[in-house]
Structure 1
Amino acid sequence: MHKILLFIFVFTTSLVAQQQTVTFDIDPSSFAEDEMITITASGFNPAVWGVTDVYLWAWSTASGVEQDAPNNGEWTNSDEAQKMTNNGNGSYSISFVPKDFYGRTGLESIGFLVKAKNGDGDKKSQDNVVTIGAIVIPPVTEAPVPNGMLDGINLNPNDNTKATLVLYAPLKTFVYVLGDFNNWEKNDNYLLKKDSAKNRFWIELTGLTPKFDHMYQYLVDGAIRVADPYSTTILDDFNDQFIDDVTYPDLPDYPSGSTSHAVTLLRTGDDDFIWQTNSYDLPEKTDLVIYELLLRDFDGLHSFDALKARLDYLEELGVNAIELMPVSEFDGNESWGYNPSFHMALDKYYGTPKAFKQLIDECHKRNIAVILDVVYNHATGQNPYYRMWNDSNGGYGGQASADSPFFNRVATHSYSVFNDFNHSKQATRDYVKRTTQYWIDEYRIDGFRWDLTKGFTQNCTPSDEGCTGSYQADRVAVLKTYADYQWDVDTDFYIIFEHLGTNTEETEWVNYRLNEGKGIMMWSNLSGAYNESTMGYHDSSGKSDFSWIDYKNRNWTVPSNVAYMESHDEERLMYKNLEFGNSNGGYNVKDVSTALTREKIAGAFYFTVPGPRMIWQFGELGYDYSINYCPNGSINNNCRVSNKPIRWDYLDDPERKAIYDVWAKLIKLRLQEQIFQTGNFTVDAGASTGLKKIQLTDDDGNAVLKHITIIGNFGLTPQSINPEFQKTGTWFDLLNDNVELNVSNVNQPISLQPGEFRIYGSSMVVLPVQEYDPLGGLNIYPNPATNTFRINKNVKKVEIFDHTGRLITKYSGDFYPDKEYDTSFLKPSIYFLRISSEVGTSSKRLIIE
């Protein structure tokens, strides 16, 4: 349905079967607003909706303003005045004079659809929009687009009162720009010039006011109003009212009453953003520890500012890359973001462009990469390039017309959602290049995760999964081209494909330009095997065998698999533990404490395998709400993309915080020690007993830590495992204060309780304690110290740990600033202080000489 109900659309992977495609005929086909017309609908079956009567739902546009027909009634209860006549031959008709029916004059276009009396459940047709009267074609000046102008907005660096707009529009005859500068009215002074050789229209706007919120749209062929396809910020006539001043201060008001549909925000003369961090070291691809998050469900403020305030939490966990679910403009406000409408605009529900840059700047200050999830398989009906070439005359529904330079009429793969881009078209490729490079240049984005790359082929049909899932040469080629576009701007750009397809196809991308140090990374879904392990299900079929995490099993020479136990698209491990966990006697995975403990062993056998890794938000705290959790507390597939509870209070639960602490140690271990870069490792995860083992060897002759052996019991009973140590001698329990184990027999069994694991190293490892200071301005002096030190704050507790993480001593009380603390008993070394007060806990290093 067109009109207001568009805002409630929420992306879902399931398709609603109730909407029908209807054939509309209008007699006469060309008419004025004061002429009687008859609309006839055919080619559909009302019985699909469970009804015999159908009704017209209608709207109109005059002076750019869209409004509903006065006798529509309610969507759940159409007015009888708009009941259509059953012609007895499968068609339905209604006749009226437009100006009377719509209750207004000066009509530019009329829109309508047919529906059941109660249209709930999508019991409706597609939208249909018809222009009133004949189109008067104004005289268009033919002139080449000025050199250096890109599609979209081109600011004049020498004159803040000017900007040049460029619109790609093949097969279109004329275009006006409408905006606050011409009262949103057609004016020949704002008729765009045409460059027929380049299929573009353009205009230089003059007399603009610097640092002012100008707004504009294009009026294409006198009928279709669209925002600029290359808008960087759009304003929406409905959704913007739900964005608060905290998230987006001073959000400009939509020009209600002057126009309809999205409009483009145009500002000139704004000061350039001053980046504070211009030199930073981002992780190598193999070292990536990515934290995938949805801002809406990560913090109640759902903003870039809120995420920036949480960076201490992520940094202490060890995260060195953040992957944001799509933040380019999407339909509505609350969404996963896979319903994109403007690929170059930042969605305002998350904050301002400045706030986004400040977040990225702060991430780079901490050497944390920022990766965006991007969606170029499709676009929604709001996309201007879809609306300019479709069979609903510029509406949001229908399907792309045969002459569309961008979209397929019918999807050429089996994962069709919304309107399917045709990636064999040069116009689509230019659009992808322009918009992707913008994010890199404007925001200093470090990488993209490409959604649904299986859809980039043009060789298949919506019903042929076998074709879609098999190797497609055109898909391989175009995605290599898109990778080149990104590397043209940033030679070290991270590129990740969510393909989940054949190993042959993925291997070709992994090896692409690998000799130049590039290559593409692939999403690797290990959720099933890891969750079977945590639930305690093991059999000879290998259901809990997660050894596919070893990139060598895919015949890859580099670890390019971004493996994950959870993602936005997978059920949460803890939910399945608690709902379906296995048991034996008194040991039951469905017990919360038991289930949480098993998340630790999962981490031990996940982060220690060489290669990039990804965490889904709150997995480190054992988040246990189903992916299909509904706001009313029920579980339903239709709630998959619904808002989920935000549980920062989990941090106060010692059992949940323990997962965070163990995972943080594991991540620090893998990032600190060279051995986790080795290609000489094995993952033994297939035993039906649930006993699993990982062994790594560093072949570097100068390596201090030569060997690591990891053993774990994913079973439900105490068991003994043969560790098969790589050598005899002294080994160290790396996550347990480096407790020594003297090994005289490498095959001597070690007993493990269910859910227990050990990480043994052939030499001792000291994990650093990262300094952080939520108290603000905390200072320890003197430092280095000899016999005493002081703290310049009022504190409640001071704990001193040695380099192995062992607690040496602690002081508890109500200590005044500058109190003297005794350290005469400490040997010269590096120690770590944990300092607690009423406002938080800080960590600091202390050197004793």
Structure 2
Amino acid sequence: MANKFLLFIFFQLLLLLGYGQVTTTPSFAVVDQPVTIAFDATQGTAGLQDYTGDVYAHTGVITDQSTSGDDWKYVLADWEVNVEKAKMTRISANIYQLQISPDIRSFYGLPQGETIKQMAFVFRSADSSKEGKATGGKNIYVTVYQSGLNVTLSSPASASIFQKDETIHVEAMASTVADLSLTLNETELVSANSTELVHDFSLTEAGNYWLKITATADGQTAKDSLYFSVRNETITESRPAGIRDGINYIDDQTVTLSLLAPGKSFAHVIGDFNDWLPNADYQMKQDGDHFWLTVSGLEPQREYVFQYLVDGEIRIGDPYSDKVSDPYDDHYISSTAYPNLISYPAGKTEGRASVLQTAQVPYTWETTNYTLPEIENLHIYELLIRDFTAEKTYKSIRENLDYFERLGVNTLEFMPFSEFEGNSSWGYNPNYYFAPDKAYGTKNDLKELIDSCHRRGFVVIQDIVLNHAYNSSPMVQLYWDAANNRPAANNPWFNVTSPNPVFAWGSDFDHDSPFTQAFVDSVTSYWLTEYKVDGFRFDFTKGFTNTPGDGSAYDAARIAILQRMADHIWSVKPEAIIILEHFADNAEEKILTSYQNGMLVWGNANFNFNEATMGFNESGKSDFSWASWQKRGFTKPGLVAYMESHDEERLMYKNLTYGNVSGSYNIKNLTTALKRNEMATAFFLCLTGPKMIWQFVEFGYDVSIDFNGRVGEKPLKWEYLDDADRMKLFDVYSAMLRLRDQFPVFTSGVETLNLNDELKSIQLAMGDHHITLIGNFGMTVKTIQAPFQHTGTWHEFFTGTSYNATATSMALSLQPGEYRLYSDQPLPAFKDLATEVEEPVLQPSSDMLLYPNPASSRISISCPDRITDLALYSMDGRLVKQLKTSDHEVVLPIDRFQQGLYIIQAKTEKNSYTRKFIKSE
């Protein structure tokens, strides 16, 4: 009976407090007192409605030490960790409560001196598969008060926007009976002696207003206030000529902002220039589907953070902004990566915002004229900026361009670098399409990288994601179905759900929509012109359709969409390179690669090449002939074949983990495994047409793709360059790439392939130049009937020896893993091609001592004569440190150096010495 009575009282309290998603008992949560949190699972996102399992509160606090409203402190447990302290008590089917005792500070474990501002909550199922959040998928916050008299304005919501003559309902509550006075812009509206005050009124004039409640009791005074605006009727007026969507810089003090928002009623601009309040003077005008506003009086070169407030409820950044201010990620970005990054306006707004700046100094491009290679001559190096250097920046990639030149590639394909969620990502979770991600550096850092690439003759390909956007995209948020946690049916750009039931991420672009098509064209035009990229690799293009299915079948509608997109790209830059991650029906890929200039499609040969390197060939599974555009029947060399990309397990990892064994021949042995990859590389780069290699495959990177999670950060292994066997693999890549540069037969010759068995061969013919490549991918010594196009003298490239073919089929014995490349025309020496780019010359160093090696904090260098000069180089030849001295021994601090292999050169009055050393952790 007692329990029933308590339950009755509990529900009465809920009713008295306004029965919301989260309520508290008592109504004022005081820092040094206990409080009961009540959660209604039917409210907000209702993700836990009617759930019958255990529910936990994922909870922490916002304190005066928090950098933003999302910077939770003293979180009770990680997201997936269930602790008894955070377990909710079910009161009824959808009502839960949590006792916070003995007081709020003790419950969360805060030290004295740190002020609690709010408690923060997300409620979740025990297995973390379901969650209950506020409307719009937002976190739930409860204000925490200090001891003594408190008063609050609970209605209307702060920064509300009303129409003229609309009823404005005010509710105020005090923690004890007090004299309450409600004022509007300092004019009293009503007063009462009570614990609560309720008042309704309306206004006939548009403008900006402040409501203030003052409570007085027992010599104490407490106040609360909120701002609201009464808007004008939206003015209909055409946008000025030449205004496009986004930020339009008019002069050094003026911008015109334009937002495409079909079906929306009104919009305001809020930002640093109006203290983030919906000001009637910043209400946007309407021009059809667009809202626009000219903002003047800005300080030249000052950065301003701003958002659009649409229909008085939706806060979004500008979809076209080139810089985003992010409350979640920015405070983790180092000043080294991005100096003087503007701070997010914490406490004034929520969600991602945009940055504008007038009077910017434009980047001056140094390289304006360069010629792109023919598509069959593209040697593409795919890399992830985050995992290629320790610094993880645009600048550090630019500083390492020597490495790519040394390797011999001519095209750099960067995984997505437009703004994405988080700071550490593969980039396939995009939200803002016109902003380079700040985790890698500034937009001018990126331009300088691209400019430097062009100066050295590198083509720049941007990997870009237009199959989907993640849900923090402003275009997703502008039309969002919170109840179903998906894009709303009236979203101009996105499907409600993806028509692909197998492959779907984020929110799916509706590529049939003219709004999406216009957006796609604006994205591609922007990067081609503003950043001068040479083309794009489009992620998951078989998703560019509304045809139901997994995307594998022939799809005429998708072909039309991609052709339309390509036509626009080529209208902006006729020589632009278009690469599709398509993996659809071969007949469809033949059409796409033959269309106009010819699009390119990815050709994943990872499985077959890896079976070959591991020594397995049952049922011909090591046959990698599908990596040939000629074999696939293309009319143009539009197949970008690869043995590895970012998406596949690494060849060397599988060699060492799963490699075949026959007697003493063991592919799990590192030297043997590397030799197998050399052979695969020779065959791979003898197939004609464009080719792509994934970062570090050239020295046998053997860390699994699943290390630290599939998309997690991977360790650098530059010390591999001090391993002779790994460098032999590097040299095979380098030499083969340079053969392709110098002899068209390797990129454009006619292929004759015999790749189905363990003994494999490729023949190439172009004019009077012929190539024969043979290899034994088996596990034992075998004899191959080596095919030659004619009799006579042939030159073996890797050994530099000559061979006299007395017939067009010659029996040659090959060891397992042995390969030979014959040419009927002399080729440069293998060792010369492999080291065509000058490297530091290592001299005898028997009289120079360097210790310890490896070293973590310092090294000692000593020579028999006085050292006059010391120079420290990274393995790509970049000068890292230089100093002059006059001592026999020098102690050099290296604690601030990145991990990896270095070369140190010491000059004395008589000699010059060179040693390698490894900087360890």
Contact 1:564–1:613 under 8 Å retained in 2:
yes
For the residues of structure 1 that align with 2:392 and 2:72, how far apart are their CA atoms? Answer: 37
Between the aligned partners of 2:871 and 2:259, the Cα distance in structure 1 is 62
Q: Percent identity?
A: 38
Match of 1:697 in 2: 765
**Is the aligned partner of 1:721 residue 2:721?**
no
Q: Is residue 548 from structure 1 mapped to residue 626 from structure 2 by the alignment? A: yes
Q: Does 1:532 align with 2:611?
A: yes
With over 3 angstroms needed to count, the CA separation of the structure-2 counterparts of 1:774 and 1:676, relative to structure 1, is closer
Question: What TM-score, normalized by structure 2, do the two folds share?
Answer: 0.72
Correspondences of 1:496-515 after superposition (within 5 Å): 496-513=579-596
Deviation at 1:552, TM superposition (A): 2.0
Mapped partners of 1:127, 1:449: distance in 2:
38
Following TM superposition, by how much is the alpha carbon of 1:331 offset from its aligned partner in structure 2, in angstroms? 0.6
Q: Does 1:646 align with 2:716?
A: yes
Instruction: Name the structure 2 match of 1:244.
Output: 334
* 1:699-723 deviation per Cα after TM superposition (whole angstroms, max 9, x unaligned): 3xxx5xx111111111111111111
Larger mean Cα displacement after TM superposition, 450-459 or 764-773: 764-773
8 Å contact kept, 1:217–1:227: yes
Greater strand proportion: 2
* Pairing partner for 2:128 from 116, 121, 131: 121
Cα distance per residue 1:547-593 (max 9 Å; x no partner): 11221222211111100000110010001101111111110101111
Q: Does 1:838 align with 2:838?
A: no
Structure 1 residue aligned with 2:448, among 353, 358, 368?
Answer: 358
Match of 1:421 among 509, 517, 540: 509
Contact 2:42-2:48 within 8 A present in 1 as well: no
Q: Which residue of 2 aligns with 1:106?
A: none
Of structures 1 and 2, the one with the larger relative CO (CA 8 A, separation 6+) is 1
1:171-186, aligned counterparts within 5 Å? 171-186=263-278
| Structure 1 residues 644 and 38: alpha-carbon distance in aligned structure 2, compared to 1, 3 A threshold | closer
Q: With structure 1 as the length reference, what TM-score do the two structures score?
A: 0.78
Q: Deviations over 1:6-41 (max 9, x none)?
A: xxxxxxxxxxxxxxxxxxxx9889999999999452
Shift of residue 595 of structure 1? 0.2
Query: In 2, distance between residues paired with 1:314 and 1:588?
Result: 32
Q: In the TM superposition, what is the alpha-carbon distance from 1:746 to its structure 2 partner?
A: 2.7
Tell me what 2:560 maps to. 477
Q: CA deviation at 1:248?
A: 1.1
Q: Greater CA radius of gyration, 1 or 2?
A: 2
Q: Deviations over 1:735-772 (max 9, x none)?
A: 323x2112222322111111111111101112665765
C-alpha distance in 2, partners of 1:584/1:31?
Answer: 67
- How far off is 1:281 after superposition? 2.2
Contact 2:671 2:725 in 1 (8 A): yes
Q: Is the 8 A contact 1:178 1:219 kept in 2?
A: yes
CA distance in 2 between counterparts of 1:838 and 1:269 reads: 50
**Matched residue, 2:600:** 521
Q: Which amino acid aligns with 1:626?
A: S
Find the aligned partners of 1:38 and 1:662 in 2 and give their Cα distance: 64
Query: Which letter does structure 2 place at the counterpart of 1:162?
Result: T
CA distance in 2, matches of 1:504, 1:149: 43
1:302 match: 392
1:512 CA displacement: 1.3
Counterpart CA distance in 2 for 1:615 and 1:67 is: 40
CA distance in structure 2 between the partners assigned to 1:218 and 1:444 by the alignment:
30
Counterpart pick for 1:682 among 748, 752, 755: 752
Does structure 2 conserve the Cα–Cα contact (< 8 Å) formed by 1:719 and 1:751? yes
Q: Deviations over 1:360-407 (max 9, x none)?
A: 1111111111111111111112111111111228xxx81111111111
| Deviation (angstroms), 1:257 | 2.3
Q: CA deviation at 1:73?
A: 6.6
Matches within 5 A, 1:561-710: 561-630=639-708, 639-687=709-757, 690-699=758-767, 703=768, 706-710=769-773
- Rate the CA distance shift 1:453–1:127 in 2: closer, same or farther, 3 A: farther
- Secondary structure of the corresponding residue to residue 838 of structure 1: strand
Structure 2 counterpart of 1:283: 373
Displacement of 1:316: 1.4
| 2:543 counterpart SS class | helix
| Unmatched tracts of structure 2, length 5 or more | 1-16, 29-36, 99-103, 105-118, 139-154, 164-230, 842-868, 873-904
Q: CA deviation at 1:58?
A: 11
Cα drift, residue 795 of structure 1: 12
> Matched residues in 1 for 2:772 and 2:408: separation?
22
Match of residue 330, structure 1, among 420, 431, 434: 420
Could you say what secondary structure the match of 1:342 adopts?
coil
Deviation at 1:473, TM superposition (A): 2.1
- 1:657 Cα deviation (Å)? 0.9
- Show the counterpart of 1:459: 547
* 1:345-424 alignment, distance < 5 Å: 345-392=435-482, 398-413=485-500, 414-424=502-512
Contact 2:495 2:507 in 1 (8 A): yes
CA shift at 1:267, angstroms? 1.3
Equivalent residues in 2 for 1:111-150, closer than 5 Å = 114-116=123-125, 121-125=128-132, 127-129=134-136, 135-137=161-163, 138-139=231-232, 140-150=234-244
TM-superposed deviation, 1:51: 2.5
Q: Which residue of 1 aligns with 2:141?
A: none
SS of 1:742's partner is strand
Q: Contact 1:713–1:757 (CA<8 Å) still a contact in 2?
A: yes
Asked if 2 retains the 8 angstrom alpha-carbon contact of 1:115 and 1:124, the reply is: yes
1:798-817 to 2 correspondence within 5 Å? none
Aligned to 2:845: none
Q: Distance in 1 between matches of 2:603 and 2:314?
A: 43
- Indicate the residue corresponding to 1:832 in structure 2: none
**Deviations along 1:659-682, whole A, 9 cap, x unmatched?**
001110111011110212434221
Q: Is the 8 A contact 1:795 1:816 kept in 2?
A: no
| Cα distance change, pair 71–648 in 1 and its aligned pair in 2 (3 A) | closer
Alpha carbons 2:499, 2:547 under 8 Å: kept: yes
SS at match of 2:562: helix
User: Counterpart of 1:827?
Assistant: none
- Is 1:231 the equivalent of 2:310? no
What is the DSSP-based 3-state SS (H/G/I as helix, E as strand, rest coil) of the residue aligned with 1:534?
Answer: helix
RMSD of the alignment, in Å?
Answer: 3.7
Give the Cα separation in 2 of the matches to 1:67 and 1:573.
41
Structure 2 residue aligned with 1:742: 804
Deviation (angstroms), 1:652: 0.7
1:41 aligns with 2:42: yes
3-state DSSP of counterpart to 2:631: helix
Deviation string 1:42-101 (CA, Å, 9 cap, x unpaired) is 9989799882456697999xxx9857999997665699899575545xx44789xxxxx9
- Decide whether the 8 Å contact of 2:22 with 2:39 is kept in 1: no
Distance across 2 between alignment mates of 1:472 and 1:147: 40
Q: Distance in 2 between matches of 1:124 and 1:795?
A: 57
SS in 2 for 1:121: coil
1:488 maps to which residue?
Answer: 571
Look up the SS of the partner of 1:552 in the other structure: coil
Q: Does 1:254 align with 2:344?
A: yes
Helix, strand or coil for the counterpart of 1:363? helix
- 2:644 is paired with a residue of what secondary structure? coil
Output the CA distance in 1 between the equivalents of 2:73 and 2:906.
Answer: 71
CA distance in 2: counterparts of 1:69 and 1:569, whole angstroms: 34
- C-alpha distance 113-388 of structure 1, shift in aligned 2 (>3 A): farther
CA contact (8 A) 1:193 1:203 kept: yes
